[in-house]
Structure 1
Amino acid sequence: MELEKLAASLQQAYPQGLPGERDALVTLLVQKGYSHQEAVAVARALEAQGYAHFLPGEKPRFAFTSRPVDLKALMRALDQEYPEFVGEGDEEEEALDFLATRLEGDRQVAKEVLEALRGAGYVEKAYSPELVRDRLFFRFPEALRLYA
């Protein structure tokens, strides 16, 4: 099966990601009929090409995107640039707008990423006193801190 098609089918089946530790993806691929060795190779290829992303933390999971994404760069942008981006408007829409601008305008993949981050517990809707309204806050586990 071609990686792009496999990634798209995994994203549709697990929009909030596949719950579990790093071996969860290999286990799923074995259940789909791959040998263990093939499953390990396919899982590595999905990660290397940017279709599968392991999200550690309290709710560990593999997230899938229908097209390759540099998720670490996106998380770095969310951590460092997003607070300056937020303004007026719906908190979901501004988060999607921010992600879509980083994904060459691909709003569908922006939705996939936002849903995966939410599923991993990285997104919190909370009141922002400086904006006098709710907004989305992105919090990443220490394992993903990407400061230069």
Structure 2
Amino acid sequence: MNVKRWAQTLKEEYPKGLLGEREALVSLLVGKGLSHAEAVEVARALEAQGYAHFLPGERPRWFFSSRSLDLKALMRALDEEYRAFVGEGDEEEEALAFLAARLEGDRDTAREVLEALQLAGYVENLYSPELARNRLFFRFPEALRPF
């Protein structure tokens, strides 16, 4: 099983993520010719190695990253540190700068993460009275809170 190859294929085929609940990934892999047991194994490996990330909530989806990453650590940083971060540029550029700084300068992956969080409904563009301008605010469902 080549997890990185599976991750690349899924990222290319589903750049906006795979809609559906947790079992959607296994069902997709079964549809690609794997047995149910193999599909479960590949799905677990993708998630364990940081290439597949399930985002629950109102618009549940799987997000596939082009590189292995610890999405929960990034979300923890957004939840705990982002409020104090003041970047330059518009609100999206500010969020990208924050994420890229935590991804060793990898802006492409930062953009992937930001788009996935936006599509899952975890990002809201609101006015910040403290900064006297708009800012992206991140909200995560309770299922992801126990980091």
Whether TM exceeds 0.5 here: the answer is: yes
Gaps of 5+ in 2: none
Which amino acid in the other structure matches residue 143 of structure 2?
A: A
Equivalent position of 1:122 in the other structure? 122
Identity %: 73
Equivalent position of 1:83 in the other structure? 83
Secondary structure of 1:34 counterpart: coil
Contact 1:15 1:115 in 2 (8 A): no
Contact 1:16 1:120 in 2 (8 A): no
Equivalent position of 2:8 in the other structure? 8
Contact 1:25 1:43 in 2 (8 A): yes
Question: Does residue 56 of structure 2 align to residue 65 of structure 1?
Answer: no
Equivalent position of 2:48 in the other structure? 48
Question: Does residue 142 of structure 2 align to residue 136 of structure 1?
Answer: no
Query: C-alpha separation between the residues in 2 aligned to 1:11 and 1:124?
Result: 24
Gaps of 5+ in 1: none
Deviation beyond 4 Å, 4+ runs, structure 1: none
* Offset from partner CA, 1:23-76 (integer Å, 9 cap, x none): 000011111111111111000000000000111111111111011110000000
Query: C-alpha separation between the residues in 1 aligned to 2:97 and 2:6?
Result: 27
Contact 2:87 2:97 in 1 (8 A): no
Task: Please show how residues 12-51 of structure 1 align to structure 2 within 5 Å.
Answer: 12-51=12-51
**Deviation for aligned residue 1:16:** 2.6
TM-score normalized with structure 1 length: 0.93
Which amino acid in the other structure matches residue 83 of structure 2?
A: P
Query: C-alpha separation between the residues in 2 aligned to 1:84 and 1:126?
Result: 16
Contact 1:26 1:39 in 2 (8 A): yes
